[in-house]
Structure 1
Amino acid sequence: MLEQAVRDYIAALIGAPPKDDALWIEALTHGSTGERRTYERLEFLGDRVLGLSIAEWLHATSQDAEGRLSQRLNALVSRATCADIAREIDLGRHIRLGKQARDDGGHDSDNILGDVIEALIGACFLERGWEAARGMVRTLWSGAMEGKAGKRKHPKSALQEWAAGNKRRMPEYRLIERAGPDHALRFTVEVTVHGVGAVQATATSKQDAETRAAEEFMEKYA
């Protein structure tokens, strides 16, 4: 049974009181609890609902070519964007975690926050249908759509073009460290441009660490 505070929280997100308590508990439950039903299957579904919702939204509101639309879509559904939106709605305090995951900071993990917000979208789709799930996405992602997500060149592409334009070798990325438990991994990556310098950055995925390293390299050397 959902606690009243969680019930009220979900109702505010989906625009109606939740009907199936077990479905929403599943969407909020991490594997570290040891429970059989966790958010993973709902996250799988919600990821697809989110992608279609954003793709339809972009197609309806932008005249950009396919390449630009794909760039914005990838940014808007990225793990970092999902986690940022989850933090905006204080989702972390409602996620059900085992003791070790809580102690390791799972409530603020990009991976967990991103997965759970997608699981909630999946649960909304199952309980209330496409229109409600799309409405949920449009409400939660309205700020990101109006912002700069995906509008500027990806930092790794920008760094590669900068290196080519300055007759330098292509950037080389190297994983320095992979640390932490599976639910709260931290990756440290170093990017080097021969003859210029090197910069390290840390994030919750190797891809995000490479992106941050490229961005910081450009800020420092470009």
Structure 2
Amino acid sequence: MSLDRVARERLVRALAGAVIEHADELTSLDQAIGDGDHGLNMKRGFEAVLATLPGLADKSLPEMLKAIGMTLVMKVGGASGPLVGTFFMELGKALPEQPSRPDLVTATEKAIEAVKARGRSEAGQKTLLDVLVPVHAVLAEGGDAKAIAAEAVQAADRTTPMQAIRGRASFLGERSIGHMDPGSRSASLLIGAAVETLKFEVNT
């Protein structure tokens, strides 16, 4: 997968746009089981990422991803900033400048493990891991862009009947059941935007 400067900028704009355009939806989801600020926080973070363009896209892919992660850690409040930021930073650390699909599989696994450690959580606890882990499995199994995007959406949907074990929503106990996890939804939006932008590269 080789991304030139134009493709890197297009990727950044797609990621940011997906979050910013759905900020109200993310806020609504978080109002049901959290502090109600997930959409606003994520929007603020990705607006800050956009503000670093066009210079951000001048960086290599690994350095660009690490820079995105650092910005999110600094600008996004709550638990989301450290978790999403960690994912981007670790992905950047693990990827070579021109990654192959196996490189992407390995790097994503390392990034997921870093998120688990940072959040002291596992898949099945109604967090963004409930999207990241199954999407990684589809990627590792050779799924194409369409399959990856579909799994991201379906995985977020599958958090709805779960009871939250970690995070603010865990304080609600059984009352968290019946609501989609906002972190999982934002993860699905980011994955969808990424594979739509990179679909030709992902499919090879």
> Does 1 or 2 have the higher relative contact order (CA < 8 Å, sep 6+)?
2
Same fold, judged at TM 0.5 (above): no
**Structure having the higher Rg:** 1
Structure with greater strand percent: 1
Q: TM-score, normalised by structure 1?
A: 0.25
